[in-house]
Amino acid sequence: MTDTRPYAEPRPAPGAPDVVVIVLDDLGFAQLGCYGSDMVTPHLNRLAAEGLRFNRFHVTAMCSPTRAALLTGRNHHAVGMGFLVDLPIAHPGYTARLPRSAAPLPRLLRDAGHSTLAVGKWHLTPRWERTASGPFDRWPLGYGFERFYGFLQGDTNHYAPNLVSDNHYTEPPAGPEDGYHLSEDLADRAIRMILDQRQATPDKPYFLYLPLGATHAPHHVPRTWSDAYRGRFDQGWERWREETFARQRELGVVPGDTTLTARPPWIQDWRGLDGDERRVFARMQEVFAGFLTHTDAQIGRLLDFLRRTGRLDDTLVLVLSDNGASAEGGALGTLNEHRFTARSGDSAARNLAALDDWGGPATYPHYAWGWAWAGNTPLRLWKRYTWLGGTRAPLIAHWPRRIRDVGAIRTGFTHVVDLMPTILDACGVPAPDEVDGVPQQPVDGRSLLPLIDDADAQRPFPTQYFEMLGSRSIVHGDWKATTDHVSRGVADEERLLPGSRDFTADRWSLFRLPDDFAEAHDVADRHPDVVRKLAELWDAEALRNDVLPLDDRMQERLGAMIPPAWPPKARARYLPGGSPVHDEALPLLFAGFTLTADAEVPEGGPAAGVLCALGDLNGGFVLYAHEGRLAFSCSRAGDLDRVVAFRPLPAGRHGMGVRFDAPGPEQRSAHGSFTLFVDGVDVAAVPLGGAFPYAFQHGGAGLRVGHDRGLAVDTAAYRPPYPWRGTLHEVVIDTGAAGAAGAARRTVEDEVRDALHSD
């Protein structure tokens, strides 16, 4: 009993810096001013001018995999994140669960005595675990962060987001009518967290992880920001790309001998567009540019705060994008990204009609893929592909205490797996061999500090594989080999992109990277032995990292999905007073349901208020009383169906609701119908104008009982919160046998489309 040692708190290494990692979403290689764009990003430009830019930095081509690689320092398949957390598969490389053998960066820094803060987009929690009931071990706090504020899904509405604070859901501090915007809120929260930390423990270093929702769709920004770009993109994407390429060469961001590839035939020729088409497409880019400049301004507020604290010189700031620019808007772009999931399709006429609202709360927009192609100048393709347009991203490093040749460009091959060992190295924290008794996997990345210190540091091209949705490539020495596999999920790509849809028929292209920055010159026919060697090397790396099996057999992939531990029941009961119910906790509705509210209509006034609401005008439904009458409105990605009872609701307690009868041979409509009922008697019905969606929103508002919040589902009928004027006892959703039948009809195409538009 006398041989005891006092407990000692872990202490950070002497001189350990603060660390800020900012992840921009779906930002292309060419979209920052310091990488050649004419879009206004003064704060990030200043960061680059006072730090370093990397022009051969690589990511995984999609969101969740890049974030997993960043936080673990391991290849994404090796830590179970071969695809999105929204589609966990029962194969080791695709479980969407970081293994305990790869303890993430925040856990290691916290154990070493650092504060760990996360603000923004998470997208590392498997879909079934994102409800208010958890489990929480794969939420940010479960992975080692001490504080979190942001959202768990792949995207959210920037005017009315679905927010989490630490381990619970919370409402935004203001509404869209108050001028709320998520990026501003995230900057406020990041500043507040740092301020609280510094005032309580001023000598304790912190790690702030700030993965913003921007510039992922929806491209939401107040109109003053987008109007500042009026007319700036009227020349079109091809001319803008040429001008950007010239600026890139002048800046030295791309080598002077880089070849700018020609416009592929599946990108529309701007000269062949009519006036309305040009106006619509130009406005899409104006809104995106305003969105980016607005985002830069919020980053600037954070950086200005750090300057005021006097700590910025001793802060390692890293800014990157998670993948290349996104083409998920398709050839035409879309005013509502949820139309992609709903298979509703888009039209130039529809986009033109919504042009004045583009970027505002009434839209959920994404630009046309011509701008994604231009945004990745001079690279080929985009997000989701392992061509350089999907995997080469901006990286800015800023650390005045350490960096001497400010404004320089580092040209060595680097990868997102290098960031975790870089941060540990900077903080003097060794990567442990064991955490909680679990031996740790080898770290795949290498510290960038030697390259940060010295541009001539020896860093030969490594062997690095890439795989995403069947698109495959590998870098080895001076060579890069890339397949022509075309991914599934985006209809315009499936229809228009040349390439293979069969793994056995995939062709490998070959590029010599020191001479070919942009994969412009395929030399596979001249070096068949090199192609064969690299293809074999890719197979070996795939085996080592749990990439296999590659599987394009969609229905078989659905059969391998990891099911929820607590699947939603066919009949669910909801009471007022709780938090919004996450959509993953709801029964499957698209095959038919009955929604019943047990509520009282008070004496002396017409019935009014929301009984329950899911989502908003961009996608969702609401059961409510309108002008004294029971009503139900459903927004199918912006297409509204509304049914209203013929007679007012009488005072008293009633069982009232709506029944969705899915399409069948006995139905009046090919898409089914909505029927209102009161006390067991049908009181009104309407056929659907289109198919009931598999999912309304990915990242949208949950189910609220007794009121609404944020954006209304039917803006012509009510304004949130519009609480039920009376007593609401409960709301019951019952899918019965229809729900089981619907689950059986679920397809991976539905799942993939729902996941892709959110990533």
In this structure, the strands spanning 471-476 and 479-483 are: antiparallel
- Write the CA distances from 180 to 112, 157, 360, 657, integer angstroms: 37, 11, 12, 33
The answer for residues whose C-beta is within 8 angstroms of residue 437's C-beta and 6 or more apart is none
In this structure, the strands spanning 629-636 and 639-644 are: antiparallel
Angle, to 10 degrees, between the axis of helix 275-309 and the axis of helix 42-49? Answer: 50
Note if 123 is an active site residue: yes
Identify whether the C-beta of residue 555 lies closer than 8 Å to the C-beta of residue 84.
no
User: Whole-angstrom Cα distance, residue 512 to residue 478?
Assistant: 6
- Which of 43, 91, 114, 123 is catalytic? The answer is 123
- Going by C-alpha positions, the residue among 214, 230, 237, 250 that lies closest to residue 36 is 250
User: Whole-angstrom Cα distance, residue 72 to residue 93?
Assistant: 14
Instruction: Write the DSSP symbol of residue 364.
Output: B
DSSP 395-443: EEEE-TTT--STTEEE-S-EEGGGHHHHHHHHHT-PPPSEETTEEPPPP
User: Whole-angstrom Cα distance, residue 712 to residue 613?
Assistant: 9
- Going by C-alpha positions, the residue among 309, 297, 333, 406 that lies closest to residue 41 is 297
Q: How many Cα atoms are found within 13 Å in the side-chain-facing hemisphere of 478? A: 6
User: Whole-angstrom Cα distance, residue 89 to residue 95?
Assistant: 5
Tokens matching residue 401: 């205490």
User: Whole-angstrom Cα distance, residue 402 to residue 313?
Assistant: 9
Tokens matching residue 71: 């936080």
The b-or-e profile of 540-577 (16+ CB within 10 A means b, else e) is: ebbeebbbeeeeeebeebbebbbeeeeebebebebebe
Q: What residue has token string 């009510």?
A: 718
What is the number of other CB atoms lying within 10 angstroms of the CB of residue 202? 9
User: Whole-angstrom Cα distance, residue 81 to residue 68?
Assistant: 7
In this structure, the strands spanning 315-321 and 18-24 are: parallel
User: Whole-angstrom Cα distance, residue 677 to residue 507?
Assistant: 59
- Which of 34, 63, 612, 634 is catalytic? The answer is 63
User: Whole-angstrom Cα distance, residue 162 to residue 584?
Assistant: 13
- Going by C-alpha positions, the residue among 683, 682, 717, 723 that lies closest to residue 599 is 723
Strand locations in 627-680, DSSP E? 629-636, 639-644, 652-661, 673-678
User: Whole-angstrom Cα distance, residue 749 to residue 695?
Assistant: 12
Identify whether the C-beta of residue 597 lies closer than 8 Å to the C-beta of residue 611.
yes
The answer for residues whose C-beta is within 8 angstroms of residue 694's C-beta and 6 or more apart is 341, 342, 590, 746, 750, 753, 754
Bridge partners (DSSP) of residue 170 are 163
The H or E element spanning position 626 is strand 619-626
Tokens matching residue 330: 């398709």
AA identity, residue 467: E
User: Whole-angstrom Cα distance, residue 665 to residue 674?
Assistant: 16
Tokens matching residue 103: 């303890």
Note if 427 is an active site residue: no
Positions marked active-site: 63, 123
